[in-house]
Structure 1
Amino acid sequence: MPRAGLTPAAVTEGGAALVDEVGFAQLSMGLLAERLGVKTPSLYKHVASQAELAHRIAVQAMTEVTAAIRDATQGRAGSEALAAGAQAMRRYVKEHPGRYAAANAARAAGEDDPLAVAGDQVLASWAAMLHGYRIDPDQEIHALRLVRTVLHGFATLEVSGGFQIAVDVDATFTWTIDFLDRGLRALGEAH
């Protein structure tokens, strides 16, 4: 009989909290069971495998990233939306590095996979933000990939301690977003 209060959602949330603490690479069913105060076999009544748990954490992370970006950019356009969305993503990665790593490691099994749906929602949030730049639709995917690449790279380098030069990282982030903004505006003006 499943432990009272333990549900697939509770196991997923426990796993998400665990990977934020110890790192996604350290995820194990044994460690999670210990943290939740149950025997490891009890977890398998709620998730089929560690791979399923990692997938669930990834879906949760993508859903949370979408909400953070959406909330930050709501009612904003252009450079203001870019700055707010970028800060929201950076903050999410800093607060939830394990979940974010899970999301980047996961692959959707098909278009109906909740991970694919969550990933599409993240892209839709960024596309809505880019709408204010009036970018040619043929160029939009390239702009989306650029924004994601820059923000992902910056945030993951920051979380891993990759910025070791004694210059204010916040100032560099602001400079980076301003640089992106100028490029996106130029791209929109060329359209």
Structure 2
Amino acid sequence: MVRAGLTPERLTLAGADLADEAGFEQVTLSALARRFDVKPASLYAHVKSSHELKTRIALFALEELADRVSEAVAGRAGKDALTAFANAYRDYARAHPGRYDATRYRLDPQTALAGAGVRHARMTRAILRGYDLPEPDETHAVRMLGSVFHGYASLEAAGAFDHTDIGTQQSWAWTLDRLDAALRARPAP
């Protein structure tokens, strides 16, 4: 019998909340069942496995983050768009550490193409239009920005920057200034 009130959507949201509280790696069907005071077998009517649950959480988090980034960059261009984009990623990672980790969960190609990851790539390319980069430079820039934003957010979350008197916000602003300068620089032909 399907327990009243349990749906895949409700389990996904509860799993996302659990990820933020305990860490994405701690999200299991057993842990989620304890939240609802049901046996883990009760959840199989809604999700097939922990992998499916984590995939659902990843897709949910990617969509949630894409919505925030889209709102942040609307009407902006150049460095303003770059800064808004970067800040939306960092703010999301700080507010929702488990969900942010879920955005990096490896998805199969078909699932990835159907998810909001495509929106993230399009938004990144959209902010780069202000820099007028030819290919393959634009693709390199997409990868560079993703690496810097994800790397910074991950290191900051791990406390890697806690050992100096220089604040992380100051370093973040410096990083964004340098990224803007690098994107504006024209390589020699």
Q: TM-score, normalised by structure 2?
A: 0.93
Alignment check: 8 A CA contact 1:107 1:115 kept? no
Match of 2:139 among 130, 141, 144: 141
Hey, what does 2:7 align to over in structure 1? 7
Task: Give SS of 2:103's match.
Answer: helix
Shift of 1:64: 1.3
Answering whether residue 21 of structure 2 is matched by residue 18 of structure 1, we say no
Shift of 1:146: 0.3
1:62 and 1:106 map into 2 onto residues whose CA distance is 12
Answering whether residue 183 of structure 2 is matched by residue 184 of structure 1, we say yes
Hey, what does 1:158 align to over in structure 2? 156
Hey, what does 1:57 align to over in structure 2? 57
Hey, what does 2:174 align to over in structure 1? 175
Task: Give SS of 1:75's match.
Answer: coil
Identity percentage over the alignment?
43
- Kindly tell me: are residues 14 and 115 of structure 1, through their superposed partners in 2, closer, same or farther at Cα, counting changes over 3 Å? farther
Q: What per-residue deviation string (whole Å, max 9, x for no partner) do you get for residues 9-44 of structure 1?
A: 000001010011100111121111111232211111
Aligned residue identity for 2:168: V
Aligned residue identity for 1:146: M
2:158 and 2:42 map into 1 onto residues whose CA distance is 34
Relative to structure 2, which stretch is displaced further, 24-33 or 48-57?
24-33
Match of 1:132 among 130, 133, 136: 130
Q: What per-residue deviation string (whole Å, max 9, x for no partner) do you get for residues 28-80 of structure 1?
A: 21111111232211111110000000011111111112111111001000100
Aligned residues: 188
2:146 and 2:50 map into 1 onto residues whose CA distance is 28
Relative to structure 2, which stretch is displaced further, 27-36 or 15-24?
27-36
Aligned residue identity for 2:183: L
Hey, what does 2:103 align to over in structure 1? 103
2:125 and 2:188 map into 1 onto residues whose CA distance is 18
Hey, what does 2:30 align to over in structure 1? 30
> Structure 1 stretches of 5 or more lacking a match?
none
- Kindly tell me: are residues 24 and 67 of structure 1, through their superposed partners in 2, closer, same or farther at Cα, counting changes over 3 Å? same
2:123 and 2:5 map into 1 onto residues whose CA distance is 34
- Kindly tell me: are residues 101 and 71 of structure 1, through their superposed partners in 2, closer, same or farther at Cα, counting changes over 3 Å? same
Alignment check: 8 A CA contact 2:82 2:127 kept? yes
- Kindly tell me: are residues 27 and 117 of structure 1, through their superposed partners in 2, closer, same or farther at Cα, counting changes over 3 Å? closer
2:49 and 2:166 map into 1 onto residues whose CA distance is 44
Task: Give SS of 1:166's match.
Answer: coil
1:75 and 1:190 map into 2 onto residues whose CA distance is 31
Q: TM-score, normalised by structure 1?
A: 0.92
2:29 and 2:115 map into 1 onto residues whose CA distance is 26
Give the alignment's Cα RMSD to 1 decimal: 1.6
